Structure 1
Amino acid sequence: MPRVLSSEDVEAFRARLCEAAQTLFAERGIEAVTMRELAQALGVSPMTPYRYFKDKDAILAAVRAAAFARFAARLEAAMAQPADPLHRSRNAGQAYVDFALAEPQAYRLMFDLSQPTEGDYPELQGAIVRARRTMTVHVEAMIQAGQLEGDAELIGHLFWSVLHGMLMLQLTGKLAPTIDPAKLRTLASQTLVRGLGIVTP
């Protein structure tokens, strides 16, 4: 008679499946993330993963939802530190960089993977909305403090685009060997601050 699984057992195995999916993605790319490969990685029968997730798409949605939630939590914590709005914005930027460099495969699954079915997963949708909010809230604070003028959403996406582009070049090894990624980010930040006319305290 099969053992009755507790909710803790189910969540623990779901977490193992998600971890295995992220590892397979890191090692061999998205094509390697199949239910059969996941079962093999965990040493279970090919049908076992289907007891916990409908299919590969659902597993990837769960992995991405958790990553977006961790990402948002880091940026929210950084912006909660007592400081003027500009420095909170810089704190958020550093938290963004720290997350991407600490969890590069999760970061790439978040932003590099297109899932046409995202709308089918409320948890993923909520995590994406929460993460996207961190891209503009620090800009809104600078506008309210009189340090900046303009469209908060547009400016937030400008910061995001520049930072994401630099990080993807770094993570994929596309930066020239002579380029220091940290110095490049500092130069970009200084250039944006001057170009947008941000009033520094």
Structure 2
Amino acid sequence: MPRILSEADVADFRERLCGAAERLFAERGPDAVTMRQLAAELGVSPMTPYRYFQDKDDILAAVRTNGFDRFAETLEQARERAKGARAKGAAVGEAYVNFAFEHPHTYKLMFDLNQPHEGEYPELVRAARRARETMTGWVEDLIAEGVMAGDPEEIGLMFWSAVHGPVVLELAGKLPPGTAKRLQHTLATTLRKGLRPEA
């Protein structure tokens, strides 16, 4: 008779399984990873992961949800700690690049992967929306202080797109180390100058 698992047991196994899955998904691509391989990574029977997740897509959604939440929390904390709109914008930009290079597997799964039927995972949708909102908050700070003018969502998307490119290129070895961080600083400065409110 299998032992009854406590909530802590369940949470611990789910976390360990998601950790192994994140690495394997990022290294091989989700399609090349099987539930049997995930079980083998943790030294459990092939059927054990099914006690915690419905299928591989369910695991992938959980991994990505966790990634988006960690990413959003990192950027939210950076914005919170900084004093003044300019400092907040700089802190968020730096936190963005740092997160990508400290958690490359997570970043790759969050942004470089299109998961079919994403809408079937409400927690993933919520976490992705939270991460997206971090791209507008610091812009709203700058607009409120009169440093910048425009639609905060559009400006946030411009910044996000402009920073994501160098990050992905550097992670792929196509740009020298440190380039993404340098370009992020240049992009932020240029954006502020170009979007100054008219006198």
Q: Same fold (TM over 0.5)?
A: yes
Q: Return the alpha-carbon distance in structure 2 between the equivalents of residues 155 and 2 of structure 1.
A: 54
Secondary structure of the 1:192 match is: helix
Residue 3 of structure 1, CA deviation: 1.1
**What SS is found at the alignment partner of 1:38?**
helix
Secondary structure at the aligned position of 1:165 is classed as helix
CA distance change for structure 1 residues 81 and 3 in 2, over 3 Å: closer, same or farther?
same
Distance in 2 (CA, whole Å) between partners of 1:37 and 1:57 is 15
Q: Which has the higher contact order (CA 8 A, sep 6+)?
A: 2
Q: Distance in 1 between matches of 2:178 and 2:91?
A: 23
Give the deviation of 1:178 after TM superposition: 9.0
What is the deviation of 1:198? 6.9
| Aligned-pair CA distance for 1:31 | 2.6
Report the equivalent of 1:167.
167
Give the residue type in structure 1 aligned to 2:108.
Answer: R
**Across the two proteins, how many residue pairs are aligned to each other?**
198
Partner of 2:77: 77
Answering whether residue 6 of structure 2 is matched by residue 6 of structure 1, we say yes
Q: Which residue of 2 aligns with 1:47?
A: 47
Post-superposition Cα deviations, 1:62-91, rounded to whole Å, max 9, x if no partner, equal 011111111111111111124111210110
Q: 1:116 deviation in Å?
A: 2.1
| Alignment match, 1:196 | 195
Distance of aligned partners of 1:2 and 1:41 in 2 relative to their CA distance in 1, 3 Å threshold: same
CA contact (8 A) 2:148 2:192 kept: no
Instruction: Assess, with a 3 A threshold, how the Cα gap between structure 1 residues 53 and 72 changes in structure 2: closer, same or farther.
Output: same
Equivalent residue for 1:99?
Answer: 99
Structure-1-length-normalised TM-score: 0.92
| Aligned equivalent of 2:29 | 29
Q: 2:63 maps to what in 1?
A: 63
**C-alpha distance in 1, partners of 2:18/2:177?**
37
Whole-angstrom CA distance in 2 between matches of 1:82 and 1:52: 40
Cα distance, 1:48 vs structure 2 = 1.1
Shift, 1:165, TM fit: 0.8
Q: What percentage of residue pairs aligned between the two structures are identical?
A: 55
In the alignment, structure 1 segments of 5+ residues that lack a partner are none
Aligned to 2:81, the other structure's residue is in SS state coil
CA 1:79–1:198 in 2, change beyond 3 Å: closer, same or farther? Answer: farther
Instruction: Give unmatched runs, 5+ long, in structure 2.
Output: none
In structure 1, how many angstroms separate the alpha carbons of the residues matched to 2:66 and 2:179?
31
The answer to whether 1:158 aligns with 2:158 is: yes
Task: Return closer, same or farther for 1:182/1:141 CA change in 2, 3 Å cut-off.
Answer: closer
The Cα offsets for residues 14-44 of structure 1, whole Å up to 9 and x where unpaired, read as: 1111011012123323233221110111111
DSSP-derived class of the 1:77 partner = helix
| Structural RMSD (CA) | 1.8
Separation in 1, partners of 2:173, 2:195: 30
> Matches of 1:169 and 1:178 in 2, distance apart?
10
